[in-house]
Amino acid sequence: MTTVYLDHAATTPMLPAAIEAMSEQLGRTGNPSSLHASGRHARRVVEESRERIAQALGCRPGEVVFTSGGTEADNLALKGIQWARGRGRVLASAIEHHAVLDPLDWLVQSGTAAVELLGVDRLGRLDLDALVGAVERDPDSVSLISVMWANNEVGTLQPIEDVVAIAARHGIPVHTDAVQAVGSVLVDFAGSGVDALTLTGHKIGGPFGVGALVVRRELEVTPLLHGGGQERDIRSGTIDTPAIVGFAAAVEASVKHQAEHEARLRALRERLVAGIRGAVPEAIVNGDPEHSLPGHAHLRFPGCEGDSLLMLLDARGIECSTGSACNAGVPQASHVLLAMGCTDTEARSSLRFSLGHTSTEADVDAVVEAIGPVVERARAAGAKRGL
């Protein structure tokens, strides 16, 4: 059975350029912190990779701090900036990824910050009036504002330019989790005006276990890890040369081809949504149709459990994801959909199809062909359970 993979928002296959670049370095020896020839070669490779990433993202090489991925980069930004600034409040949207929400909760539980989560509208766009109100109530008490560039579930793009403008009036730094955005839409660090930006390798065709926090050199960040003083003394730890080379190749390639990639995915997404709604007219599209990631199609299927749909599609070789998360084995309704005003039942009836660089029209057509019968079976199962 052929597998149709439509879960690129979770991870996407590595690009050939990234595999080639990483494979070449895996056979070499050298710690970039060593002073001998092998170490100097490894350091040169790392710094060239840093420069390639900086050029692709519109930042200075010295602003790229390598991490183990998006979660560490988010933690470093939130905790490191909060600790360095020492003020009371951090503001964030209610629909952030748990890599942001959980560190914020930790800051609250540890007594080192007060956190205010700001609401969104039914399309998943940040309530800017709420942000203005929260800032202007006491701007001197705000350490940081964190708003994701694009939502990982419904794909809604956030008004980062407006957030930066509001923050700039009071000298408040802005962090954005751009894990889903880089390579899918235009991301320019300097042009955006943000002070810190998170990205990771495996979402853009690079390897797992490597990412970066792009952070302005002028912004003080307290490190989470202490040791060798690598990465501007912000992130100690032996530098993973092969992973960084693969990461740089993926960033460079995904940004270089971003415009054509976006156009192709938008066309595939339109085909997918139209086909699904043709087969299941009651299906409802979640998210902002005007401001969204090109490859995200997040739909609600009334009368169905998303988990049932997921497993029925998986049995047909179609891989996607639900709009819910599982914590300790207990299914929970998506906090994103609940924040957008969905009921618990509505939130549990959603699926996310996310397209990527390997997606084809045949993949889309396979979903369209399967979705009608799958929805019928899921509804029948739900009716038996009294849902």
- Is 304 a known active-site residue? no
Tokens coding 48: 């060239």
CA 347, 285, 203, 307 dihedral sign is positive
Beta-bridge partner residues of 354: 7, 296
Output b/e per residue, 278-311; b: 16+ Cβ within 10 A: ebbeebeebbbeebbbbbbbbbbbeebbbbbbbe
Q: Which of 59, 320, 326, 342 is catalytic?
A: 326
Q: Which helix or strand (DSSP H or E) is residue 367 part of? A: helix 361-384
Cβ contacts of residue 164 below 8 Å, gap of 6+? 174, 192, 193, 194
Contact in structure between 153 and 323 (CB atoms under 8 Å): yes
Cβ contacts of residue 209 below 8 Å, gap of 6+? 68, 69, 201, 202, 240, 243
CA 118, 122, 127, 129 dihedral sign is negative
Q: What residues are labeled active site? A: 326
